[in-house]
Amino acid sequence: MALMALQEGEDVVGDILADLLARVMDSAFKVYLTQQCIPFTISQAREAMLQITEWRFLARDEGESAVVEDPMWCEDEEPLACTTDAWAQGSVPVLHAPTSMGLEETFQGEDQGSVDQISLGRPWMERGSQKQMEPWEPSPELGVTSGPPPTPELFQETGSRSLLGDSAVQSRDHQALVEPLNWSLLGTLVWSPGSVLLILVLLRLSVRLWHESYLWDLRQCSTDLTGKTAVVTGANSGIGKAVCQELARRGARVILACRNWERGQKALAEIQVASKGTCLLLGQVDLSSMASIRSFARWLLQEYPEIHLLVNNAAISGFPKTLTPEGLDLTFATNYVGPFLLTNLLQGALQRAGSARVVNVSSFRHAHGYVDEKHLTGAGKPLNLIQSYDCSKLLLTSFTGELARRLQGTGVTVNSVDPGVVYTEIMKPYPWLYRFLFWLFSFFCKDVKQGAIPVLYLSLAKELDGVSGKYFSSSCMITLPTEAAQDPQVAQSLWNASVQLTNLDKMD
């Protein structure tokens, strides 16, 4: 430095020294942010400065030719030691985490060095040849805490290269600081309550649009039901209620067959308001009771000798093994025996209508069931909550094919349909864990109006005139049911067992 001062002047040397010191401080500050500690001690900073100030002589030692334009240097000449006492004693300011708004306040209370050090840096600071460091305040989000002291390897890698102006290293240090912040910001945006709600809403809308793209367009159907009579079981909620509303809107006389009278009255009032229908009637029937079914059928035949549409929609699931007073399993009695008996009791009214339809609401779950006639009386192999539902829907699908075969040529068509996975009250009897999981899955389910469309397709579509004995999927397409449901021998055996169980063969 002394030789450079003689050659180029003290002001130039002061600029160089101040610039180098600023680079050291800038690099140390970056490492501090990434490592969360103070990386430079006094001795390390002094060694870094000495390495930088000697870089000009390293090339001469490696064999480069002497600089002709510089007559002040000799071949064997070595740089003189720094004569600044404060520098030789290691009075380099220790770098602390900045807590104030300015450079001068940052180093208050520290050793300011000797007079010649201050004089070297002051002209540079006054001229403003180098932009001052931006003020910095600790952010609570960063969570800066004290860490272990840096290793010599860390200083050698990050300190020396950054001081030489290696842009790649500086970019790496900046990226190491920014990437955790980016991930933290992304996590905050994704998992904030508002973002989660928005994601769920968009997911629900996309699922709804996807379902509607595969469904029959009800608006394109022009079927008018004025003057016709329709009977719908399980009409106080869910799919049955939505079906009744559409039938009433098209002018049909709709009989709501419900087990609970109070809930049936409430549903009747709501359907009247929604459909503006005036021909709505409520009938009470418990499909798990053969006596209740016979009483309901007698009243219905007296009031309406012709029935144009029968929708066997009512079903239960999730009940433990329970026997009715008549000795029937509760799930099988409601889901199969009840529809079997009611449909046979109304055969005369259906045939008198000239052209009538029977729609049995089955399920894709029928493929997981099997046929065992002993289940009807609860004497078969024990089943869990879901298996009882599966097997009962298999029996209903098998009954559809057999009834269609027996009613050929009568003008009455019989078909079964899978409405799909619909979010209804059918899961209400299940334990809370099942209900909670079903609620989570409800974002992918159909709502009751979408679930009613396949049932309405079988009830209204003109292109299905004369189509009988078929099984329709939730997308309103004819699909083959499971092999057990197609077996004519199984269907015949099940029919005979059901006739004996319901005493149909003893009726007048």
Which sequence positions are flagged as catalytic? 389
Instruction: Answer positive or negative: Cα dihedral of 159, 163, 168, 170.
Output: positive
Query: Which residues are within 8 A (CB) of 303 and not within 5 positions of it... i.e. 6 or more apart?
Result: none
Position of tokens 């052209």? 355
**Environment class of 250 (CB within 10 Å of its CB; exposed 0-12, middle 13-18, buried 19+):** buried
**Cα 20 to Cα 341: distance, rounded to the nearest angstrom:** 98
Cβ count within 10 A of residue 265: 14
Q: How far apart are the first and last CA of the chain?
A: 125
* Residue 14 contacts residue 84 (beta carbons within 8 Å): no
Classify residue 113 as left (phi > 0), alpha (psi -120 to 50) or beta.
left
CA 207 vs CA 230, 423, 442: distances in Å: 32, 13, 10
Q: Which of 197, 196, 153, 135 is nearest to 44 (CA)?
A: 153
In the sheet that holds 280-284, the strands lie side by side as 280-284, 253-258, 229-233, 309-312, 356-361, 412-417, 471-472
**Cα 289 to Cα 455: distance, rounded to the nearest angstrom:** 25
